Amino acid sequence: MRTAEIRSRFLDYFAARGHTVVPSAPLPTPDPTLLFVNAGMVPFKPYLTGEAQAPWARATSVQKCIRTLDIEEVGRTTRHGSFFQMNGNFSFGDYFKEEAISYAWELSTAPVAQGGFGLDPDRIWATVHHADDEAAELWRRISGLPQERIVRRGDEDNFWSMGVPGPCGPCSELFYDRGPALGREGGPTVDEDRYMEFWNLVFMQYERGEGTGKAGYPILGELPRRNIDTGMGLERMATLLQGVDNLYEIDETRPILDRAAELTGARYGADAEADVRLRVIADHVRTALMLLADGTAPGNEGRGYVLRRILRRAVRSVRLLGHQDPALPELLPAARDCMAASYPEVAEEFDRISQQAYAEEDAFRSTLRQGTTVLDTAVAEVKAAGGRKLPGDRAFLLHDTYGFPIDLTLEMAEEQGVEVDREGFTALMAEQRERARADARARKSGGALDTSALRSVLDAHGPTDWRAYDTLLTDSKVLALLGPAGPLPVVRAGEIATVVLDRTPFYAESGGQDSDAGALTGASVEAEVLDVQRPLPGLVTHQVRVTAGELAVGDGVRAAVDAEWRLGARQAHSGTHVLHAALRQVLGPTALQAGSYNRPGYLRLDFPWRGALGQTARSEVEEAANRALRRDLAVDVRWMTLPEAKELGALALFGETYGERVRVVEIGGAWSRELCGGTHVEHASQIGLVALTAESSVGAGMRRLEAAVGVEGFGYLARERDLVARLAEQLQAPRAQLTDRVAVLLDRLKAADQRAEELRQRAAAGRAAELAAAAADVAGTLAVTATTDGDARGLALAVRDRLPDTRPGVAVIGSDAGGKAVVAVAVNEAGRVAGLSAAVLVKSLLNGRGGGNDDVAQGGGLAVSELPGVLGRLPELLPRG
């Protein structure tokens, strides 16, 4: 049975039993404690914890999940995969243990012809919590399992909680005996490879208190409403029903592995180390496909870093197996074909997905070429000095300058028998992050807030009455004043604090749109609004600076948005939609927005694309955008359900989280139709103007367009006009002839530069000839030492090439490179035959600081003042008679 059929069979079974089928949430999660959804229950967490009322009494889903904590184990064991799918059925205060157990047993064992999975009941084992007599009795009565196949286990295995105070309860697991060929007899407590877990049923019936570990907390009592959360591993069920040994051999993974084997010439099952790499490739390529499909783009932080790491591990595994050409164009389509039956979007969006993936591979291949040389040199230096640990600053240099993930440095250093100072690297990374945080704090002019204090405000007063779509002015009440240290009773003139109001007209920063500016005024206070955020769902906070008087909890204030600011923000946000639509009109549907930011007068838009657009394409995009403004396209806003929006063709932009009801913004109907929570103009002509100001790269396969909007757009064009006028005046040429006149000047400058370079080369050649002619004879070796203001390596090679071929010769040249000494050493062929090595000489001269080969080497790091002493040591390092 194919995996896609297992998936649909599971959903159909529970749908027929009153469960609402809930689509999988995207892998990126809005939960600030998680990068990705890592369990099937994560999207249902607010309902299970009681934070929100579930819209259904019972639900079912097949949730995409990512777990990366044990990524190094991927491939080394056959039980770890970074991407997996979790089938689940959930009850929110509806049914409980008896129905959950009945459903699990019936679906697992019912014949395939009757909609079940057809597992042999005689090979199924159940585990229950040691104190859960009710579950044990239910399994015995419903399934007929003998007592010896209902195993009682402790808290570590069969009691569930989220690790924090809240819901908890016993759980029950189902295992399938795969036969004696795969391990020892005796049930799951003896061998969990032979007895594979495939379903876990969590019975949420208690509330736990504070504590650590699996059992170090008190049970406070029964929950007012008991819930069911079950998870059936889709890949594990596919492993059982397809009769294969592990998840790497099921129909959604094995074709990728087989394609990797074809590319590399490796044969799966013939070599243990090669098998590990083939499994890494299969897992990581599939995981990358799913992450890219859900809008994650490769980057250096957070989710982007995880994706980059996964892609690069896959590419490097292919290279280690001997395939040096680009591999993803062969492997990613195989992954697409595996997953499209369950997730059609991976085929529909494949052009965009593949552009980003292939660009990342191209960038990494370049990174490998540069970084590997740097790493090899650093490792050689460590070994030459008798060490076995690569310094943390060298690992940080590889990460920061060459884009080498620390994991890759660790792997490659280990292959060469060298450890990495991980602590030193981590300390430097922490310093870099702290600098970034400090910079962000300085820009925001405020400190971080305690989430628990915000939660208390939300619990006490409920959600903020948010009026940003309806008005620019509200009469409001101050519910709370907060600072970095906690609640404040009062805020005085000159102080900055976070204010929570009962209602607000201010737009909170989200969806790429900056927050509103404005003021709070009251009987005894004036305050400037600096920033507006949504730190918790439903709660809006305002960072304010009191400019006069003082602000206290309970005060009544008038909250007023700066009308000019809001107008500029609306123009910029609508302008972003227009530019996005124009981009797709010119470049095609793969130019899908991957990130944006807009504030009054300015917008930027990121999109996947390989290579710069060029002036012609940029002009076409700009023209398409402004033609839409000239046509004065209507801007309409409608609320509808998410399925209705998707049916309408509205674009759901990556990185955003949407609820059951969504806001659809249309500009010119289908021309621009996006899900969006921002503020917008009523007609496109109100945007005024969109003037592209810049295009740049923001990572492999990702471009950024920037534009000035509205009055700022006209100002930008006016400045461009004035610049052209000044150039025309200075060059004494009509505007129409400016480009020709500048081209002539550039040609003259190029010719002058070439002439200057020829003169420099002649001077250098003359200097090299003079130095070679004056070479000292040191025990039969011709030796030259000198300093230069220019290229030390180039002069060393030039001098060496002018020494006689019949005698050993060496040239050592020093130079000043930004206040640090650089020393280059070059040895001729006769010298190398006699046993001289440039690499050995440079390390001896610089106490190990250098690298290269026998022919030419270079090093540095000393003070320039030390150069004479370094050069003077050459004779004592040359062989004597």
* Helix (H), strand (E), coil (C) string for 646-675: HHHCCECCCCCCCCCEEEEEEECHHHEEEE
* pLDDT tens for each residue of 830-867: 999 888 999 889 888 887 777 788 899 988 878 888 88
In this structure, what DSSP letter does residue 186 have?
A: S
In this structure, what DSSP letter does residue 506 have?
A: P
| C-alpha–C-alpha distance, residues 453 and 456, integer Å | 5
| C-alpha–C-alpha distance, residues 64 and 347, integer Å | 17
Q: Quick one: tokens of 305?
A: 């870093």
First-to-last C-alpha distance (Å) of the chain: 80
**Does the structure show a pLDDT above 80 at 783?**
yes
Q: How confident is the model at residue 551 (pLDDT cuts 50, 70, 90)?
A: very high
Mean pLDDT along residues 603-619: 87
Which run of H or of E encompasses 552?
A: strand 539-552
Q: What is each CA distance from 108 to 134, 252, 366, 830, 866, in whole angstroms?
A: 21, 21, 50, 79, 78
| C-alpha–C-alpha distance, residues 840 and 832, integer Å | 11
Lowest mean pLDDT: which of 28-37, 233-242, 517-526, 751-760? 28-37
Mean pLDDT along residues 38-54: 84
Q: Which residues pair with 227 in a beta bridge?
A: 92, 204
In this structure, what DSSP letter does residue 685 have?
A: G
**Does the structure show a pLDDT above 50 at 447?**
no
Q: How confident is the model at residue 407 (pLDDT cuts 50, 70, 90)?
A: confident
Order across the sheet with 781-788: list the strands. Answer: 776-778, 781-788, 809-817, 820-827, 856-863, 850-852
* pLDDT tens for each residue of 191-220: 988 999 999 999 999 988 887 767 778 888
**Does the structure show a pLDDT above 50 at 69?**
yes
Mean pLDDT along residues 517-542: 92
**Does the structure show a pLDDT above 70 at 31?**
no
**Per-residue pLDDT, 641:** 87
In this structure, what DSSP letter does residue 676 have?
A: -
Lowest mean pLDDT: which of 337-351, 379-393, 557-571? 379-393
**Per-residue pLDDT, 446:** 44
Alpha helix stretches (DSSP H) within 403-472: 406-415, 422-444, 451-461
**Per-residue pLDDT, 60:** 95
Top mean pLDDT of 361-365, 492-496, 786-790 is at: 492-496
| C-alpha–C-alpha distance, residues 727 and 189, integer Å | 83
Mean pLDDT along residues 521-536: 92
What's the predicted TM-score (pTM) here? 0.62
Q: Which residues make Cβ contacts (< 8 Å) with residue 251, sequence separation at least 6? A: 2, 3, 238, 242, 338
Q: What share of the chain has pLDDT > 90, as a percent?
A: 52
Q: Which residues make Cβ contacts (< 8 Å) with residue 204, sequence separation at least 6? A: 48, 160, 167, 168, 169, 223, 226, 227, 228, 229
Q: What share of the chain has pLDDT > 70, as a percent?
A: 95
Q: How confident is the model at residue 445 (pLDDT cuts 50, 70, 90)?
A: very low
Q: How confident is the model at residue 633 (pLDDT cuts 50, 70, 90)?
A: very high
Q: Is 399 annotated as a binding residue?
A: no
* pLDDT tens for each residue of 322-381: 898 999 999 999 999 999 999 998 998 898 899 889 988 988 887 777 777 788 888 888
Between 97 and 400, whose confidence is greater?
97
**Mean of all residue pLDDT scores within the chain:** 88
Residue bearing tokens 């600053």 = 393
Between 69 and 106, whose confidence is greater?
106
Q: Is 577 annotated as a binding residue?
A: yes
Q: Is 548 helix (H, G, I), strand (E, B) or coil?
A: strand
Q: At residue 603, what are phi and psi to the nearest 5 degrees?
A: -145, 155
Q: Are 197 and 174 in contact (CB under 8 A)?
A: yes
**Per-residue pLDDT, 311:** 92
| C-alpha–C-alpha distance, residues 78 and 389, integer Å | 32
Mean pLDDT along residues 373-397: 84
**Per-residue pLDDT, 249:** 93
Between 793 and 300, whose confidence is greater?
793
**Does the structure show a pLDDT above 70 at 728?**
yes
Between 651 and 521, whose confidence is greater?
521
